[in-house]
Structure 1
Amino acid sequence: MATLPLPLTILSLVAAGIVAGHNVTISLLDSAIARGAVCLDGTPPAYAYSPGFGDGYDNWHVFLQGGGWCQNVDACLDRARSSNGSSAKLMSTQNGIVSFGGMLDANSTFNPDFYNWHVVKIFYCDGSSLMSDVEDVDPKYNLTYRGARIYDAMMDELLRIGMGNAKNALLSGTSAGGLATTLHCDKFHPIVVSQHN
């Protein structure tokens, strides 16, 4: 039996109504503010969550968004005026919705391995791969460097909504989020495993 070339296969799937990606609501983690876990501009961090289903219900995929680093105050100030440094800007530019595609897609045709897992996308807004933790706010520019606190607050939130019951949990990311995955993987494993002990 002959197979269609990839572009024709994708065109056929779209024509049949099987389209990659699904829309997910972005949530602000307002409770993180009390912990000082805030974006560069002081706004609360944000995430999007798509619940798992079927035989994937006990599995979680946590994706850390990328977006480079800010190397100096000027670059961080520019970032704080964009969706990469402000959840307020993220919500206004995205209208509170993000499309999940690729490894985050809930369609088994496009994502056969993880389509029915719980999926969480953590938005990147600290400019340091979720590693910074400076207590003082920059007095001149009102910038806050608290990425490590954002990571911790997000993990607590995910445990609260059910990740503590996961049989399998995957931490992934791209660009600066990929680096954050490497930097936080040793902390991620005990977070999930300790919930079963």
Structure 2
Amino acid sequence: MSSLGFVVIFLALAAKGGLATILSLTLLRDATEQGAVCLDGSAPGYYYKKGSSEPSKWIIHMEGGGYCANELDCVNRSHTDLGSSKNWRKTSFQEGFLSDNCLVNPHFCGWTKVFIPYCDGAFFAGNVVNPVRVGSDTIYFRGIRILDVVIGALLELGVKSADHVILTGCSAGGHATYLHADHVRNMIPRNVPLHAFADAGFFLDAPNINGQYVQREIIQYIYKMQNVSNGGVNKACLAAMSTDEQWKCLFVPYTYSYINTPIFTYNSPYDTWQLENTLQLNCLPPLCSDAQLKLLKDYGQEFLKAVSPAIQSSTNGVFLDSCLVHCQSLSTITWIEFRVSNQTIGETLYAWITGNTEKYNTKVIDCTFPCNPTCPVL
């Protein structure tokens, strides 16, 4: 799509209700009785908007936002909106996949939308029974309980009789989608179709530019700190691993092959969060040297190797663009403008979910960076 074409669409969107969809907050105050609380002990909740033309079809999106790597980090996080619901706004404005504007989101605009705020710091996976005392602060690691009470509330709101459900999220929320797809599948009646759609959640267990496995060390610590093995990761993965390697089930490349729920991987092999935090490359093109650019491209090749089970799967979908981005599904621009093999992610996802593959391929893999002209110019 040309820049002029996008401007025309942007103006049309503004004329037809704007770009953002407004969802309203429900706090689950009774959840505290079940120990389902944010890091600071406040109640979890969700944002919701009933669909217009297809209200019995649901999109449930889990928010991203990194992680807290140790207890003190979690204390600091507990004083923010990523660790406490005390200052959550009454409404949430969402675009892209959660848009109800049919010019932006033609295949899913009429679906019911849910946005689950992230306030546990560990991919909705922790489950420590007792409160954790850190200096003068008390924090709680209860992510899987939060997910359980929210899904429970949504079941009563209409999910238990839904025509279709898509579980999704980006970044940490995309990571959580891989971790919990089968868990949520087991909570929802079997006659309700469920697909999972993970955006920017396929994080590699890879070394940085100095050969150090920094992210591995962090994930290993989170696994123990938040007692993730108590319901917070894929049970089949845990059963397959020796005790000293069960932490791997908190890493997507290791747990992917144990996921039974149909799942769609949406990622860039050159994901900017991973380039900065996993590879720890201190530049982005065009400000990289030739040597740094080679490291970036090598990381992209390692990503393609790691994601090969998704590419080779006979049932799961894949959309891998070569853009320097992180989290794409909730952006209007990336949702409607970025293309691979002349198809958008929305078109690809819808073809995969419906099985209508006559027009669109459901395994879409881009050429090597920086080949894609639809990617933004940095």
TM-score normalized by structure 1?
0.89
Unmatched 5+ stretches in structure 2: 193-378
The reply to whether residue 114 of structure 1 matches residue 102 of structure 2 is: no
What corresponds to 2:18 in structure 1?
19
Change over 3 Å in CA distance of 1:168–1:13 after alignment to 2 = same
CA distance in 2 between partners of 1:174 and 1:11 (Å) = 24
Match of 1:79, as an amino acid? Answer: R
CA distance in 1 between partners of 2:25 and 2:38 (Å) = 15
CA distance in 1 between partners of 2:145 and 2:13 (Å) = 41
CA distance in 2 between partners of 1:149 and 1:28 (Å) = 15
| Identity %, equivalent residues | 33
The reply to whether residue 150 of structure 1 matches residue 146 of structure 2 is: yes
1:17: how far off? 4.3
Q: Is the 2:38–2:140 contact (alpha carbons within 8 Å) kept by the matching residues of 1?
A: yes
Larger C-alpha radius of gyration, 1 or 2?
2
Match of 1:109, as an amino acid? Answer: L
What corresponds to 1:124 in structure 2?
118
Count of residues in Structure 1 that have an aligned counterpart in Structure 2: 189
CA distance in 1 between partners of 2:74 and 2:13 (Å) = 40
What corresponds to 2:294 in structure 1?
none
What corresponds to 1:174 in structure 2?
170
What corresponds to 1:139 in structure 2?
133
Q: Is the 1:169–1:192 contact (alpha carbons within 8 Å) kept by the matching residues of 2?
A: no
**Secondary structure of 2:139 counterpart:** coil
Unmatched 5+ stretches in structure 1: none
1:5: how far off? 2.4
Match of 1:167, as an amino acid? Answer: D
CA distance in 2 between partners of 1:23 and 1:52 (Å) = 12
Match of 2:55, as an amino acid? Answer: Y
Q: Is the 2:24–2:47 contact (alpha carbons within 8 Å) kept by the matching residues of 1?
A: yes
TM-score normalized by structure 2?
0.48
**Secondary structure of 1:119 counterpart:** strand
CA distance in 1 between partners of 2:126 and 2:14 (Å) = 46
Change over 3 Å in CA distance of 1:63–1:39 after alignment to 2 = same
CA distance in 1 between partners of 2:175 and 2:30 (Å) = 26
**Secondary structure of 1:57 counterpart:** strand
1:195: how far off? 6.6
**What are the residue-to-residue correspondences of 1:59-70 with 2, within 5 Å?**
59-70=57-68
What corresponds to 1:75 in structure 2?
73
What corresponds to 2:5 in structure 1?
6
1:99: how far off? 0.5
1:29: how far off? 0.9
What corresponds to 2:85 in structure 1?
87
What corresponds to 1:161 in structure 2?
157
Q: Deviations over 1:92-148 (max 9, x none)?
A: xx3x11102111111111111211111110000000000000011012320000001
CA distance in 2 between partners of 1:99 and 1:123 (Å) = 12
CA distance in 2 between partners of 1:152 and 1:195 (Å) = 19
What corresponds to 2:315 in structure 1?
none
What corresponds to 1:102 in structure 2?
96
Match of 2:180, as an amino acid? Answer: H
**Secondary structure of 1:155 counterpart:** helix
1:4: how far off? 7.6
Q: Which moved more, 1:11-20 or 1:77-86?
A: 11-20
Match of 1:85, as an amino acid? Answer: G
1:27: how far off? 1.5
1:15: how far off? 5.2
Instruction: After the TM superposition, list the runs of 4 or more consecutive aligned residues in structure 1 that deviate by more than 4 angstroms.
Output: none
Change over 3 Å in CA distance of 1:15–1:101 after alignment to 2 = closer
Q: Is the 1:164–1:195 contact (alpha carbons within 8 Å) kept by the matching residues of 2?
A: no
Q: Is the 2:22–2:49 contact (alpha carbons within 8 Å) kept by the matching residues of 1?
A: no
What corresponds to 2:33 in structure 1?
34
Change over 3 Å in CA distance of 1:183–1:11 after alignment to 2 = closer
Q: Which moved more, 1:21-30 or 1:127-136?
A: 21-30
Match of 1:136, as an amino acid? Answer: N
Root mean square deviation of aligned Cα: 1.7
CA distance in 2 between partners of 1:158 and 1:14 (Å) = 30
Change over 3 Å in CA distance of 1:166–1:17 after alignment to 2 = closer
Q: Which moved more, 1:125-134 or 1:137-146?
A: 137-146
CA distance in 2 between partners of 1:163 and 1:138 (Å) = 34
Change over 3 Å in CA distance of 1:57–1:14 after alignment to 2 = closer
CA distance in 2 between partners of 1:115 and 1:15 (Å) = 16
